[in-house]
Chains A and B, each alone.
Chain A
Amino acid sequence: MSEFLQFVASGIGQGAIYGLVGVGFVIVYNVTGIINFAQGHYLMLSALTAVSLREAGVPAVPALLVAMVAAALAGLVTDRLVINPARRHSTLTLIILTVGLAIALEGLALLIWGVNPRRYAPFTAGPPLEIGGAAVSRQTLWVLGVTLALALALWWFFQRTVVGKAMQACAMNREAARLQAINPAQMSLYAFTMAAAVAGVAGVVLVPITSAYYDMGVPFGLKGFTAAVIGGLVSPFGALAGGLLLGIAEAVAVGYVSSAMAEGVAFAVLALMLILRPEGLLARVRTRWA
């Protein structure tokens, strides 16, 4: 049992990251109907930007903030330069567009940062903490804390602000929302920017755990998508829960079977979900996001 707890403790941090990427998929998909393939690439951008700034001697807090803002800006630019001009095209075209964007971002990252992975030290130094018989690294606690804070912020945003409610309205019915004087193009801008910002936050807290490398966008994107699918692609909080489940499942598979299994787990889970329960494990929350 304590062994199992240890696996849970080591998988939960990664899982929270998958969840945060998944949140981005959910927000963009519901507000615009697009699966944004570059979702994991915003995480890559913020992680590598943060590493570069830290290496250049910028203090931690401003470096991380700038990196998150850079990711959010990338999301904003995505909507304005790539998505908005093509708004009248088919969904197929829009999806391939985001694939193109993802490839371009990866190529750009390769040119700027090269192939070697880089990292910086955990936010707080020190040995892992002992919680309930399992050793939990301090960075994992940071990840969980940041994830919790973001979840609360999202809940507040979607429940208590006009813009948040307008985005929910778009998710429920775009035409009806338009009749209420909600501009879908503007909601799309907010959705892409928010989704990228959330991935950006995930990127900077992730670096001390896995390090940052130019082609991390695809694996994190795919796992984030899997997390979102576990949650049924309808609820940001479902995606977070899905991410935690996936992270723990991966860690357990690595622990009990082999480390080569880790890659396979996410894909197997994705395949099983698509075959058996395409509506998600947590598919009761259809209309309300929080």
Chain B
Amino acid sequence: MGLRWWGPLALWGGVFGIGVLLVPLADALPFLTRANLVVLALHAIAAMGLTLVMGFAGQVSLGHAAFYGVGAYTTALLTSKAEWHPLLAMAAGAVMAAVLAALLGRIVFRLRGHFLAMATLAFGLVFYVVVRSWDSLTGGNQGTGGIPDLALGRLRFDTDTSMYLLAWGVLVAGLIAARNLLASRPGRALVAMGASEVAAASTGIDVARTKMVVFALGAVYASLAGSLYAHYVKYVSPESFGLLPSLRFLVISTVGGIESVWGAPLGSAVVVLLTEGMRELIPKFVSGATGSYEILAYGVALVLVLLFLPRGLAGGIAALTQRGAEWLGARQRRAPVPTLEEVELR
């Protein structure tokens, strides 16, 4: 192993280590459980896909949970009814999600930008309606159960902790994949597109096609997270894939920051803390509050972050790092504020 391996290895080992350290942290905090951590990791994986779509293709998707649902339902049906191997079912879900996304993208990316937002909103709602009403296949409102534990050889992921560590591992793998992608040729095309579509197109990048590919890739991230989710809860029902989860992914990506792949895990952590905290606090202030009132927090967080920290937490941290470096006199002043990726590359 050459010297150049040690840097990345330390980085990713460190990131995985942070994930491991979250376990005792969750145990110490009164309103967090290890189950919350599983949710944190799974949502971060799905939201990372959305981050790629928003940050680099410059498109809002309001139906991201549908792809999460495609993964979850494919895994659920293939492993419980057809008794496929979990990994095979997971791959099938990813392929389905990618194909669906590519089809949707083909239709919409020819149009003016923000049509995608509405079209994906409609797509998400259609997915929800179809899953809810196709009783014979999906079990309708009742959902479908009997999903086996995820077992790979002798490894069984049947506890909160083991599932969390697996999901965190997948998250780190997803981060590595995204980072490597962004450093590759198509990835650089993507970054160029994120900066300026017109400029990218003028250098010969097929903007519509690149957008479609990113959209499909984002769907694959969501689908993988959905498959893991299905194995984790062993029972899937339409509520987990409706509008609210889609909005949740949007909030995670935006709050974390869409210009950096680090945004998704940061955003997911904040949203989990916010949701669980609200669940503790709101009933103390508003008696008899019922329903999913965390949406109020989602909405307010989204508006506040975009108004005061438009580049999200990852952008904020990158700016702080830059300021710190300037303050120490290590770097030249007045350089444009970099993204986290750029901070790291230096």
Residues of A within 8 A of B (CB): 35, 37, 82, 85-86, 89-93, 95-97, 99-108, 110-111, 114-115, 218, 222, 225, 229, 260, 263-264, 266-267, 270-271, 274-275, 278
Contact = CB atoms under 8 A, between A and B. Distances in A.
Contacts of B290: 114-115
Given A99-B247, A274-B115, A106 B299 contact: yes
Contacts of B307: 82, 85-86, 97
Contact of A115 (B291, B297, B299, B302): B291
Give the secondary structure class of B's interface.
helix
A97 B118 contact: no
Given A103-B296, A111-B296, 20 more contacts: A89-B306, A95-B114, A97-B302, A97-B303, A99-B302, A100-B298, A100-B301, A104-B296, A104-B298, A107-B293, A107-B295, A114-B291, A115-B290, A115-B291, A264-B129, A267-B122, A267-B126, A270-B118, A271-B107, A278-B115
A104 B299 contact: yes
B111 interface: yes
Contacts of B291: 110, 114-115
A102 to B, nearest CB: 7
A38 to B, nearest CB: 10
Interface stretch (B54-62, B155-163, B215-223, B331-339): B54-62
A86 B306 contact: yes
B117 A274 contact: no
Contacts of A115: 290-291
A126 B319 CA distance: 66
Contact of A103 (B54, B118, B302, B306): B302
Contacts of B21: none
B135 to A, nearest CB: 11
Interface in B173-203: none
Contacts, number: 126
A35 B58 CA distance: 15
Contacts of B293: 107, 110-111
A111 B310 CA distance: 28
A37 B118 CA distance: 9
Interface in B85-126: 107-108, 110-115, 117-119, 121-122, 125-126
A274 B111 contact: yes
A274 B119 contact: yes
A93 B310 contact: yes
A222 B122 contact: yes
29 contacts: A86-B307, A89-B306, A92-B54, A92-B58, A92-B60, A92-B113, A92-B114, A93-B310, A96-B60, A96-B306, A100-B251, A100-B299, A101-B303, A103-B251, A103-B295, A104-B298, A105-B299, A107-B300, A110-B296, A111-B286, A111-B289, A111-B293, A222-B125, A264-B126, A271-B107, A271-B119, A274-B108, A274-B115, A278-B112
Nearest to B132: A260
Contacts of B112: 278
B306 A274 contact: no
A270 B119 contact: yes
B142 interface: no
Interface of B: 54, 58-60, 62, 107-108, 110-115, 117-119, 121-122, 125-126, 129, 133, 243, 247, 250-251, 254, 286, 289-303, 306-307, 310
Nearest to A218: B243
Contacts of A229: 118
Sorted nearest first, the 3 A-B pairs with minimum C-beta distance are A107-B296, A104-B299, A100-B302
A186 B110 CA distance: 32
A92 B118 CA distance: 13
A267 B294 CA distance: 27
Contacts of A110: 291-293, 295-296
Contacts of B54: 92
A185 to B, nearest CB: 16
A35 B299 contact: no
A96 B295 contact: no
Contacts of B298: 100, 103-104, 107
B128 to A, nearest CB: 9
Contacts of B119: 270-271, 274
A19 B247 CA distance: 26
Nearest to B108: A274
A149 to B, nearest CB: 29
B133 A260 contact: yes
B303 A104 contact: yes
A274 B116 CA distance: 10
A29 to B, nearest CB: 9
Contacts of B113: 91-92
Contacts of B300: 100, 104, 107
Nearest to A101: B303
Contact of B299 (A101, A266, A275, A278): A101
A84 to B, nearest CB: 10
A91 B298 CA distance: 20
Nearest to B119: A274
A219 B212 CA distance: 27
